[in-house]
Amino acid sequence: MREGKITVDVIRGMKGRQRLATLTAYDYPMAKLLDEAGIPLLLVGDSLGMVVLGYPDTTHVTVAEIEHHISAVARANPKALIIGDMPYQSYETPEMAVATARRLIAAGADVVKAEGGREIESQVKAIIADGIQFVGHLGMLPQHILEEGKYSIKGKDDAGRAKLFDDATALQEAGAFAVVLELVTPLVAKELTEQFPFMTIGIGSGMDCDGQVLVTPDLVGMFPWFTPRFVKQKRQCGTDIRSAVEEWKAEVEHVG
Ligand code: KIV
């Protein structure tokens, strides 16, 4: 293992002490850049389906595709802990969940993540019993987009809040060490952060989570055709690439 490698215990120990900055990485150069910038947690998320592979949503991503990208990230040999995202319908039963989780670990992930709470409790328990550490994902679940039809905020009423608490309890009892909270109302995200021992990692869920995660292309403007409302974009890399290419093209075309 690389010297200084971030471990699950290091991440757990950050609860209440240090905020956790997490970003997605899908390839070798980005993993190296994010690691050099000191990001402790890299997510090879199934968002790659939309921001890298050109699918309309994450439900098209296959286990083979995630494995391919995890391997590229792992070849960067980052200090950061690598989370491998379990694709849509790849964890329908405990047996299937363990088989998929093992494949992602064999590809180079350090831990795995899947979407859902109470409904995947037995899958999470089976993964952890197999010796693989687990990150949960609650709130808006992008893999449910086909049933739900839109990306909407969760926890707005009593029933929504109660469901989030029940799902969080299931993940805690199963042994998740961190949970992504996506599009959860800031108040409920704060309550979950205060009441559960796992690290909460928010995306579009306010500033009171233990950490934040973003899809890196959103942060740096590498997917300029759509940026979620909650993202404060730091650079316009897509625009920079387009103008660098236009400049070079003009030079080539005007030689002589
Ligand atoms: O796939 C992904 O990148 C994610 C983040 C949006 C948290 O799950």
Nearest CA to 121 among 136, 142, 103, 143? Answer: 136
Instruction: Measure the CA angle with vertex 250, ends 244 and 256; round to 5°.
Output: 140
Q: Which two tokens stand for residue 143?
A: 């893999």
> Would the pTM of this model clear 0.85, i.e. be above it?
yes
**Residue 250 CA to ligand 1 centre (angstroms):** 38
Domain residue ranges in the chain: 8-214
Task: Report pLDDT for 143.
Answer: 97
Task: Report pLDDT for 53.
Answer: 98
The pLDDT tens digits of the residues spanning 52-109 come to: 999 999 999 999 999 999 999 999 999 999 999 999 999 999 999 999 999 999 999 9
The answer to whether residue 4 scores a pLDDT higher than 90 is yes
**Residue 31 CA to ligand 1 centre (angstroms):** 15
* Catalytic residue, candidates 65, 67, 115, 182: 182
Residues 6 or more apart whose CB falls under 8 angstroms from that of 159 comprise none
Instruction: For ligand 1, say whether the CB of 218 is within 6 Å of any of its atoms.
Output: no
The pLDDT tens digits of the residues spanning 111-140 come to: 999 999 999 999 999 999 999 999 999 999
Atom of ligand 1 nearest to the CA of 46: 1
Task: Answer yes or no: 182 catalytic.
Answer: yes
- What pairing do the DSSP bridges indicate for beta strands 111-113 and 134-139? parallel
Instruction: For ligand 1, say whether the CB of 215 is within 6 Å of any of its atoms.
Output: yes
**Residue 44 CA to ligand 1 centre (angstroms):** 8
Nearest CA to ligand 1 atom 3: 45
The pLDDT tens digits of the residues spanning 232-254 come to: 999 999 999 999 999 999 999 99
Of 47, 134, 141, which is best to mutate to test ligand 1, by the most ligand atoms within 8 angstroms of its C-beta?
47
CATH fold group of domain 8-214? TIM Barrel (3.20.20)
The pLDDT tens digits of the residues spanning 152-187 come to: 999 999 999 999 999 999 999 999 999 999 999 999
Atom of ligand 1 nearest to the CA of 58: 1
**Residue 23 CA to ligand 1 centre (angstroms):** 9
Task: Report pLDDT for 49.
Answer: 98
Instruction: For ligand 1, say whether the CB of 24 is within 6 Å of any of its atoms.
Output: yes
Task: Report pLDDT for 256.
Answer: 67
Task: Report pLDDT for 255.
Answer: 78
The mean pLDDT value for 216-245 works out to 97
**Residue 242 CA to ligand 1 centre (angstroms):** 26
Task: Name the amino acid, one letter, at 176.
Answer: A
